[in-house]
């Protein structure tokens, strides 16, 4: 009986050690973000940014000679299913706004940040045919596109 119990414990320990192989998370994907920021219907910025999934991206626009920025945007993209969850924080002289949106590769969506502030966002994987086509186009943004 002790032999059977010892053998069973030994099998569980060996199987537990073998199956405890570390699983590597997927490497961060390089991403391209095109944004159009509006407050009260007035366009306040349209940054184009590069970043990585799982990494925070911060951008600021400051007028020459000014100490405070016109805006500061913080993007936090993370992979979620087939697409990405993008959390946004926008700091303006009138206050801070927050929002979030789920996007697929190449998708463009608008997100309300509150108080009449809106962000139109487009996200693309940098290593894609669509991104290469976008950057090879002389004037990629037309009316109604960011």
What are 81-92's pLDDT values in tens digits? 999 999 999 999
CATH number of the domain where residue 73 is located: 2.40.128
**Tokens describing residue 104:** 């697929």
Is 23 part of a structural domain of the chain?
A: no
Is 106 part of a structural domain of the chain?
A: yes
Is 90 part of a structural domain of the chain?
A: yes
Question: pTM score, two decimals?
Answer: 0.76
Q: What is the dihedral of CA 58, 83, 124, 130, to 10 degrees?
A: 180
Is 86 part of a structural domain of the chain?
A: yes
Q: Out of 7-16, 49-58, 125-134, pick the least confident.
A: 7-16
Residue 97 has pLDDT above 90, yes or no: yes
Q: Out of 1-10, 26-35, 58-67, pick the least confident.
A: 1-10
Q: How many domains does the chain have?
A: 1
Is 4 part of a structural domain of the chain?
A: no
Q: Could you tell me what percent of the chain has a pLDDT over 90?
A: 64
Residue 45 lies in domain: 30-136
User: How many residues does the structure list for the chain?
Assistant: 146
The long-range contacts involving 101-105, CB below 8 angstroms and separated by at least 24 positions, are 105/130
Is 114 part of a structural domain of the chain?
A: yes
């Amino acid at each position: 009986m002790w032999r059977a119990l010892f053998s069973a414990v030994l099998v569980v320990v060996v199987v537990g050690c073998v199956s405890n192989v570390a699983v590597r998370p997927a490497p961060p994907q390089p991403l391209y973000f095109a944004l159009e920021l509006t407050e009260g219907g007035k366009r306040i910025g349209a940054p184009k940014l590069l970043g990585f999934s799982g990494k925070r991206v911060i951008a600021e626009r400051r007028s020459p000679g000014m100490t405070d920025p016109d805006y500061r945007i913080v993007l936090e993209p993370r992979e979620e299913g087939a697409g990405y969850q993008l959390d946004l924080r926008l700091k303006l002289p009138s206050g801070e706004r927050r929002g979030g949106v789920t996007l697929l590769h190449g998708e463009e969506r608008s997100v309300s940040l509150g108080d009449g502030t809106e962000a139109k966002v487009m996200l693309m994987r940098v290593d894609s045919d669509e991104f290469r086509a976008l950057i090879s186009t002389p004037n990629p943004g037309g009316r109604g596109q960011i």
